[in-house]
């Protein structure tokens, strides 16, 4: 039997029924068992697609749950790491603020003391009378004596002006150097 022999057995594949135009209709192509097999295949494909979608949805939920847990863990870890650093920063800021307040208070005290000293100097200069002979010095001994007089007068005036005793200042000595 060759290709030219066109003898088909009746047990072979069914022949297509032809329409008026020479084409086979879909009903003619499929017999009842083929239709059932195709329907079962479609149902099976639908069930498999549905199972895939359910599985995909469950995977998405699992990933979202893991991401939520990871976010919580990260937030807790960040809080554990950041809280001590923030607390230390607040403590440092408080210490710096206290230090600035102390420095400002010290500057104010120094400024007040400087104002008091300037007021003292003006008052002393206004009330101090230079003794006779201290306008111009003739000798080193006279210079020492005039300077010591001014220092003693200044100490006494300071005690009166501030209402306190002042430490003794060194008086100049007349003698060889």
Mean pLDDT across the stretch 80-98? Answer: 91
In this structure, is residue 61 part of a structural domain?
yes
Burial call 121-160: b when 16+ CB within 10 Å, e when fewer: eeeeeeeeeeeeeeeeeeeeeeebbbeeebeebbbebbee
Q: What integer pLDDT is reported at residue 26 of this predicted model?
A: 61
Q: Please give the model's pTM, rounded to 2 decimal places.
A: 0.43
In this structure, is residue 9 part of a structural domain?
no
Q: What integer pLDDT is reported at residue 22 of this predicted model?
A: 61
In this structure, is residue 109 part of a structural domain?
yes
Non-local (6+) Cβ contacts of 172 within 8 A are 144, 147, 148, 151
In this structure, is residue 114 part of a structural domain?
yes
Q: Give residue 35's domain range.
A: 29-127
Lookup: tokens for 12: 């072979």
In this structure, is residue 176 part of a structural domain?
no
Could you report the per-residue pLDDT of 29-56, keeping only the tens digit for each? Answer: 668 888 899 999 999 999 999 999 999 9
177 has pLDDT over 50:
no
For the chain, the domain total comes to: 1
In this structure, is residue 54 part of a structural domain?
yes
């Amino acid at each position: 039997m060759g290709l030219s022999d066109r003898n088909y057995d009746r047990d072979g594949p069914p022949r297509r029924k032809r329409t008026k135009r020479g084409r086979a209709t879909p009903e003619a192509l499929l017999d009842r068992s083929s239709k059932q097999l195709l329907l079962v295949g479609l149902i099976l494909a639908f069930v498999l697609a549905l199972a895939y979608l359910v599985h995909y949805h469950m995977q998405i939920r699992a990933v979202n749950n893991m991401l939520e847990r990871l976010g919580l863990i990260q937030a807790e870890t960040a809080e554990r790491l950041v809280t001590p650093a923030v607390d230390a920063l607040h403590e440092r800021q408080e210490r710096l603020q206290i230090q600035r307040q102390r420095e400002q208070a010290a500057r104010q005290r120094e400024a007040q003391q400087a104002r008091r000293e300037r007021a003292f100097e003006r008052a002393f200069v206004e009330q101090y009378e230079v003794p006779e002979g201290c306008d111009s010095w003739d000798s080193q001994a006279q210079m020492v004596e005039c300077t010591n007089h001014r220092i003693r007068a200044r100490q006494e005036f300071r005690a009166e002006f501030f209402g306190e005793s002042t430490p003794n200042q060194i008086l100049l000595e007349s003698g060889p150097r």
